[in-house]
C-alpha cells in the first residue's frame, strides 16, 4: 500500500464530514444572501433614519384633569443632539439596557444567552435580550406584535441600522424617541416632566433616575412612586460604576443626591393616563389646528379625566393581567368609566402603554357576545313585552343557523328577567325573530352604537364588532334614565392667553328611551348581578346593574354595568384573538369591574338605580375614584373565590 493511500475508514469519515458540512455551508450561504437582500430591501422602502429627526418643536399643549391639575404637557420638548447632552446620560442608559452596545453589531447573542440563563434561573422574565439598536428598530418601524416573524424583522432591521448609522447616531435617535412615562417621549421631555429642566442640564443622579424608567415607566416614575424610583436609580448608578463609567466617589455623591430627590413628593401623578391623553389629543383635532393656525402660543385643554379614578383603574388593569393573566392566557385588558352625562372619567387602553400604544378601549373592535343582548330586550320591551313575559327556552333553527345554549340545556318557558340574567341564547334569538333584527339594530343605534351591525338574527348574540367605549356609552344611556349621553372628554379649550376656543355644549339631553322601558331594563339588568351570570360584580351596599359577555371560543370577555353614579365597562382578551383559558365575562372582567367601581364609590351614599343626575351630584363624594391599596385586588380575588358562581371553567361560554 502506498504511503499516501487512504484507508476505507478515513474515506468514510471524510464523506461523513462532507455530508454534514455541505448542508451547513448551504444554509449559511442562503442566510447570508437573505440578509443581504433584506438590507437592500430596507434601504429601498425605509427612509434614512436620520431624516426622522424632527424639523421643529410641536406646538405646546397642556392637558388638565377635571380638578385643574396637570395630566400631561406636550410640545415643549426639544430634539437634543447627543453632543449637547452630558456624557453620563447616554452612559446611564447603556449601563442599564445594553452594556455591550459598543461591542456588538445590532444583535448581541452573548447578551441574549445571558438573559435566557438568568430568566431560566429565576423562573420568570427578569431580563431582556434586546439591544438598544433592536429597541430603536422596533420604535422606528415595527408594531408591538409578539410574533416570531416580527422578532426576526427586528433582528434584521437592527443589523441594517448598524450599517446605516454610527453608534452615536443610534444613541441620539434612541434617546430622543424612547418612551419614559407620564406622556414623555424622549430624554428632553422626560427631563422637563420630572425635573423641570432641559436634558442638557441633568445631573448624574437625575440621569440615573430617568434611565431607570426604561424597565417600567409607570412603576418607577419618580412622581408617583418616588421610593421605587430612588431604589432603581441607585441600582443604575451601581451598574455604571461596575462597568467603569463613573468612579466610586461619583457613585456615592450621586446616590446621596438621589436619596434627597422627591423625598417630600406629594405630587401623585395621574398614573396610567397615557391612553386617556392620546384620546384627548385625538378628540382635540379641530380646536388644536384652529389654535395653531390662529397663532396661539399654546393650548390649555380642560378635560373630564378624574385623576384618582384614572390611577386606580389603570392599577387594577395592570394587576389583574400580571396576577391572573398568565394562567388564563389573557394578555390584555381595557376599561372605561363614564359619568352619567357622558363625561369620560377614566380610560385604560391596555396593560402597558410603554409596550404598546394601541388603545383597545377606543380602537379595538371586538365581538361583544352577550353584552349586546340588552338591546334585544329593549326592542322587545318597546314591542310590548315586560320583564315577566314568558318566552320558551327551546332549540330553534333559523335558515340553517341553530343558536344553542352553551351548557346544552333548555329549561322551557321562562320570564324575560330570568332569561337575561342567565344569558340564555335561545331566548335572545327567539326574541330577535319576533321583533325583527331591524328593530334590535335601531334600538342599539338610538343608544349610541355606531359600528356596522348584522342584519339578520345573529345580531342577537353579539356577533357584530364594537368598541368598549361605544358599548359602555350605550349602557350609560340606560343608566342616565334613557337620556342621550354621548361620551366626551374635552370640556374646554383655551389659548395660552386665555381666549376660549371651544366649550363642550351643555343643554337638555334628548330622551331616547321611555322611562317605563328604562325601569324595566334596570330591573332585568340588576337581576344579572343578584341571581345571574354577573354575581361576582356585585358591590353591596350599592345597587348595580349590568351584563356579562363572552365571544365564541373565549376570545373576548366583557362586563359592562352601572350604578346610580357611574357606568363602567371592562374587556379582557388577546390582541391576536387567540382563545383564553375559559375566561368568561362573569369571572375576570366582572372582578375587575368590581375592583374599579368599589374604589370609585368610596365615600358615596348608596342610592337606588334610576335616581336623577342632580340627586347623585348632591349625594356623591367630593373625591370620586379614591385610590385603593396595592393589595386590594388580591383581597378582592379572595372575597370572590367562594362565590357560588362556581369555577371559571364551569361558567357558561355565553355569559
Burial class (CB in 10 A: 0-12, 13-18, 19+), 568: buried
- Hey, what's the cell of 506? 351643555
Cα separation, 449 vs 470, in Å, equals 6
- Please say whether the beta carbons of 60 and 75 come within 8 A: yes
| Dist. CA 485–CA 533, nearest whole Å | 27
Which of 218, 370, 467, 551 is catalytic? The answer is: 370
Output DSSP code: residue 431. H
Report the distance separating Cα 583 and Cα 655, nearest Å: 10
**97 is annotated as an active-site residue:** yes
d(CA 631, CA 333): 19
Q: List all residues 6 or more positions away from 520 whose beta carbon is below 8 Å from its beta carbon.
A: 381, 386, 387
Helix (H) or strand (E) holding 114: helix 109-122
Question: How far is residue 523's CA from residue 583's CA, in Å, rounded to a whole number?
Answer: 27
Residue 370 bears catalytic tag? yes
Burial class (CB in 10 A: 0-12, 13-18, 19+), 629: exposed
Task: Supply 460's cell numbers.
Answer: 342577537
Active site residue: 77, 97, 172, 251, which one? Answer: 97
CA distances from 67 to 497, 499, 623, 655 (A): 20, 20, 10, 38
**Alpha carbons 548 and 583: distance in angstroms, whole number:** 11
Q: Which residues pair with 72 in a beta bridge?
A: 63
Which string of DSSP letters, residue by residue, matches 279-312? HHHHHHHHHHHHHHHTT-SEEEEEE---HHHHHH
Active site residues: 97, 370
Amino acid at each position: 500500500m502506498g504511503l499516501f493511500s487512504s484507508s476505507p475508514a478515513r474515506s468514510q469519515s471524510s464523506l461523513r464530514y462532507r455530508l454534514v458540512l455541505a448542508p451547513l455551508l448551504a444554509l449559511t450561504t442562503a442566510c447570508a444572501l437573505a440578509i443581504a437582500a433584506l438590507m437592500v430591501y430596507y434601504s429601498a422602502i425605509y427612509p434614512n433614519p436620520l431624516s426622522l429627526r424632527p424639523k421643529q418643536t410641536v406646538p405646546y399643549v397642556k392637558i388638565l384633569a377635571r380638578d385643574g391639575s396637570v395630566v400631561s404637557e406636550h410640545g415643549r420638548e426639544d430634539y437634543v443632539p447627543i453632543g449637547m447632552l452630558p456624557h453620563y446620560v447616554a452612559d446611564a442608559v447603556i449601563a442599564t439596557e445594553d452594556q455591550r452596545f459598543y461591542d456588538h453589531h445590532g444583535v448581541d447573542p452573548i447578551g441574549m444567552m445571558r438573559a435566557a440563563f438568568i430568566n431560566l434561573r429565576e423562573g420568570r422574565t427578569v431580563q431582556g435580550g434586546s439591544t438598544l439598536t433592536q429597541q430603536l428598530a422596533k420604535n422606528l418601524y415595527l408594531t408591538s406584535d409578539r410574533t416570531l416573524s416580527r422578532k426576526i424583522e427586528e433582528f434584521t432591521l437592527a443589523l441594517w441600522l448598524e450599517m446605516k448609522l454610527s453608534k452615536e447616531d443610534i444613541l441620539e435617535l434612541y434617546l430622543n424617541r424612547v418612551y419614559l412615562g407620564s406622556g414623555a417621549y424622549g430624554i428632553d421631555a422626560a427631563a422637563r416632566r420630572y425635573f423641570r429642566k432641559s436634558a442638557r442640564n441633568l445631573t448624574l443622579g437625575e440621569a440615573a433616575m430617568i434611565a431607570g424608567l426604561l424597565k417600567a415607566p409607570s412603576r418607577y416614575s419618580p412622581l408617583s412612586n418616588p421610593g421605587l424610583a430612588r431604589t432603581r436609580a441607585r441600582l443604575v448608578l451601581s451598574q455604571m460604576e461596575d462597568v467603569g463609567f463613573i468612579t466610586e466617589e461619583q457613585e456615592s455623591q450621586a446616590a446621596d443626591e438621589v436619596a434627597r430627590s422627591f423625598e417630600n413628593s406629594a405630587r401623585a401623578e395621574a398614573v396610567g393616563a397615557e391612553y386617556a391623553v392620546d384620546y384627548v389629543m385625538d378628540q382635540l383635532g379641530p380646536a388644536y389646528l384652529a389654535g395653531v393656525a390662529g397663532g396661539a402660543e399654546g393650548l390649555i385643554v380642560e378635560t373630564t379625566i378624574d385623576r384618582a379614578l384614572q390611577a386606580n383603574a389603570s392599577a387594577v388593569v395592570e394587576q389583574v393581567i400580571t396576577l391572573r393573566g398568565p394562567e388564563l392566557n389573557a394578555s390584555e385588558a381595557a376599561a372605561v368609566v363614564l359619568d352619567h352625562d357622558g363625561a369620560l372619567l377614566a380610560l385604560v387602553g391596555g396593560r402597558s402603554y410603554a409596550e404598546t400604544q394601541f388603545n383597545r378601549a377606543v380602537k379595538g373592535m371586538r365581538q361583544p357576545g352577550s353584552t349586546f343582548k340588552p338591546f334585544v330586550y329593549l326592542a322587545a320591551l318597546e314591542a310590548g313585552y315586560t320583564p315577566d313575559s314568558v318566552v320558551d327556552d327551546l332549540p330553534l333553527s333559523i335558515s340553517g343557523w341553530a343558536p344553542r345554549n352553551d351548557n346544552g340545556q333548555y329549561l322551557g318557558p321562562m320570564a324575560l328577567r330570568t332569561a337575561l340574567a342567565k344569558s340564555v341564547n335561545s331566548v335572545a334569538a327567539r326574541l330577535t325573530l319576533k321583533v325583527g333584527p331591524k328593530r334590535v339594530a335601531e334600538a342599539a343605534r338610538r343608544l349610541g352604537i355606531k359600528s356596522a351591525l348584522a342584519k339578520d338574527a345573529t345580531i342577537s348574540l353579539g356577533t357584530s364588532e364594537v368598541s368598549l367605549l361605544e358599548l359602555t356609552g350605550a349602557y350609560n344611556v340606560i343608566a342616565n334614565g334613557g337620556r342621550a349621553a354621548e361620551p366626551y372628554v374635552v370640556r374646554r379649550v383655551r389659548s395660552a392667553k386665555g381666549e376660549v376656543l371651544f366649550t363642550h355644549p351643555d343643554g337638555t339631553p334628548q330622551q331616547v328611551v321611555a322611562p317605563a322601558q328604562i325601569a324595566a331594563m334596570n330591573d332585568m339588568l340588576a337581576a344579572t348581578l343578584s341571581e345571574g351570570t354577573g354575581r361576582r360584580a356585585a358591590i353591596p351596599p350599592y345597587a348595580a346593574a349590568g351584563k356579562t359577555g363572552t365571544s365564541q371560543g373565549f376570545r373576548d370577555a366583557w362586563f359592562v354595568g352601572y350604578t346610580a353614579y357611574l357606568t363602567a365597562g371592562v374587556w379582557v382578551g388577546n390582541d391576536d384573538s387567540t382563545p383564553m383559558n375559559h375566561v368568561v365575562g362573569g369571572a375576570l372582567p366582572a372582578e375587575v369591574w368590581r375592583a374599579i367601581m368599589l374604589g370609585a364609590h368610596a365615600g358615596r351614599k348608596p342610592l337606588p338605580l334610576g335616581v336623577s343626575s342632580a340627586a347623585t351630584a348632591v349625594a356623591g363624594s367630593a373625591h370620586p375614584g379614591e385610590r385603593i391599596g396595592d393589595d386590594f385586588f388580591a383581597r378582592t380575588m379572595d372575597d370572590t373565590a367562594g362565590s357560588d358562581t362556581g369555577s371559571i371553567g364551569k361558567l357558561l361560554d355565553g355569559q
